[in-house]
Amino acid sequence: MTTHAVVIAGGGPTGLMLAGELALAGVDVAIVERRPNQDLAGLRAGGLHARTIEVLDQRGIADRFLSQGKIMQVAGFAMIPLDISDFPTRHNYGLALTQSHIERLLAAWVDELAVPIHRGLEVTGLVQDDTGVDVALSDGRSLRAEYLVGCDGGRSLVRKKSGIDFPGWDPSVSYLIAEVEMAEEAPWGVRSGEKGINALGKLEDGKRVRVVLIEPNVMPGDTPTLGELRDALVAVYGSDYGVHNVTFLSRFTDTTRQAASYRERRVLLAGDAAHVHSPTGGQGLNIGVQDAVNLGWKLARVVHGTSPESLLDTYQAERHPIGARVLKNTMAQTALMHGDERTKALHERVSELLKMDEPRKRYAAMMSGLDIHYDLGAGHPLLGRRMPDLDLVTESGPRRVFTLLHEARSVLLNLGEPGALDIARWADRVQRIDARYTGVWELPVLGPVAAPTAVLIRPDGYVAWVGDGTDMGLHEALTTWLGPPRHD
Ligand SMILES: Cc1cc2nc3c(=O)[nH]c(=O)nc-3n(C[C@H](O)[C@H](O)[C@H](O)COP(=O)(O)OP(=O)(O)OC[C@H]3O[C@@H](n4cnc5c(N)ncnc54)[C@H](O)[C@@H]3O)c2cc1C
């Protein structure tokens, strides 16, 4: 039986990102992916939010994405635009780029990192014991792994087979999304309906039409028929406009569910396998990629035996609340987009509120992922927040903070006396960089914060310890995040 330290079920955006993170950390990882290649049927995510672009920048691959998409303000709440151009980040914007391109670029990166992808194969079952997981495949073979991560989407077999509950809310609305041709001219643009927004738009070739349509009744299954599309068009517009020649047609809903636990012993969940919700606000792919970046380095430490298994509990503790918040904000947005007069009046009032500076900043930071704050205890405002990408001066010249994270290793950034802060017993796990920075420290929403004398930055770019001129708490933080000290 072939063995790997980690097997990932599913090579969508989450599985690919996780594979890259594990490979960078030197873990023997393989992906099992049902699709024979990376092609994506239909249309899904339309882009990246600022924090995801930052996360890619931390690995030195953001430019690959930026060069292929269109930089623009993409954050919004219930279709109310939220501008982040005044936010203190190098990427004070989002990126319009379709999921098929995002997956293609991630897959190319994973390829460079030489991660094997078993394509055209499904994970069909799993059995775990004290030392690992037997992963059954659709061709009758099995793989053995120390850990299995289910990145296998909303209908996750890994989640079901490991008995993890998926509580939440059934759909209140189902949408058809399609690319078609129409024999007649239609009222192009957005039309508000009782349950939300419908849209018909001509594509660049002037022939094909993109349709997003609310169905008269909530329908199950993601393979709707042309007849159902015709019925929905007639229900909303009174005509089907001679719809024909379907390029793709699929259905999505606002089903809202979250895995009760992101881990069952040696099985973990990430991305849509752990949380599903309405696509409104464009957050699913983004939080899946960020789940992967939170989990990757932790799983690597545990696999390498440098940290205890309990480090994996911090994945659940940090990412479950982020997922829960996205579920709630999508439910609120779906409710706010109903087209009845009372909801429209409410939407107008909320729009007014979100034009005010403070609410705009708060909501924009939430939707773009720039306000994420992991609860690492009381202390300096940087603790548990994203490390800003400062322009540093180091012994080897000017460096951006994010450049220091390219290899997905922890960094102790010493901004005080060069050579201060003794980390010798963790030297194999953290790089100490002596640097100078004279600018302002500013965080989204919070504004300027006191300049620290040192920060311990985790591989995912979140601050795990903040120095105020002493090393108080540093060794505890190193032990928590990087494992116990080495005894020579
Ligand atoms: C219409 C629509 C618009 C959206 N717009 C946005 C947006 O603008 N922004 C955004 O961030 N998100 C958006 N989303 C959500 C986004 O598409 C998902 O959140 C994202 O694809 C989740 O990535 P994932 O890798 O976790 O799961 P998936 O993309 O579902 O990938 C799972 C992978 O696992 C494979 N797989 C499944 N089962 C098995 C198995 N048993 N064995 C092996 N392989 C398996 C699948 O083939 C697939 O490749 C949208 C979704 C929809 C439907």
Q: CA 450 to CA 442: how far, in whole Å? A: 9
pLDDT at residue 488, rounded to an integer = 64
Residue 459, ligand 1, Cβ within 6 A? no
| Ligand 1 in reach of 252 Cβ (< 6 A) | yes
Beta bridge pairs of residue 71: 95
What is residue 162's predicted lDDT score, i.e. its pLDDT? 97
Determine the distance separating the centroid of ligand 1 and the alpha carbon of 374, expressed in angstroms.
25
Question: What is residue 133's predicted lDDT score, i.e. its pLDDT?
Answer: 98
Ligand 1 atom 26: residue of nearest CA: 271
- Which atom, in ligand 1's list, is nearest to the CA of 46? 8
Distance from the alpha carbon of residue 287 to the mean position of ligand 1, in angstroms: 11
**Structure tokens belonging to residue 226:** 């042309």
Query: What are the backbone angles phi and psi of residue 99, rounded to the nearest 5°?
Result: -60, -35
Pocket test for ligand 1, best of 18, 285, 329 (most atoms within 8 A of CB): 285
**Does ligand 1 lie within 6 Å of residue 210's CB atom?**
no
Tell me how far apart the alpha carbons of residues 94 and 400 are, in angstroms, rounded to a whole number: 20
Task: Give the type of residue at 195.
Answer: K
**CA gap 345, 330 in Å, rounded:** 19
**Both structure tokens of 476:** 């505890």
Start-to-end Cα distance in the chain: 37
Distance 272 CA to ligand 1 centre (A): 6
For residue 409, the CA-to-ligand 1 centroid distance in Å is 28
- Phi, psi angle pair for 236, to nearest 5°: -90, -45
Adjacency order of strands within the sheet including 410-414: 397-400, 391-394, 430-436, 410-414, 454-457, 463-467
CB 376, CB 443: distance < 8 Å: no
133-137 vs 447-449, strand pairing mode: unpaired
Residue by residue, pLDDT tens for the chain (488 residues) are 899 999 999 999 999 999 999 999 999 999 999 999 999 887 888 999 999 999 999 999 999 999 999 999 999 999 999 999 999 999 999 999 999 999 999 999 999 999 999 999 999 999 999 999 999 999 999 999 999 999 999 999 999 999 999 999 999 999 999 999 999 999 999 988 888 889 999 998 889 999 999 998 998 888 899 999 999 999 999 999 999 999 999 999 999 999 999 999 999 999 999 999 999 999 999 999 999 999 999 999 999 999 999 999 999 999 999 999 999 999 999 999 998 999 999 999 999 999 999 999 999 999 999 999 999 999 999 999 999 999 999 999 999 999 999 999 999 999 998 888 989 999 999 999 999 999 999 999 999 999 999 999 999 999 999 999 999 999 999 999 999 998 76
In the structure encoding, which two tokens stand for residue 53, read together?
Answer: 């672009």
For atom 52 of ligand 1, the residue with the nearest CA is 44
Q: Taking a C-beta distance cutoff of 8 angstroms, is the pair 467, 382 a contact?
A: no
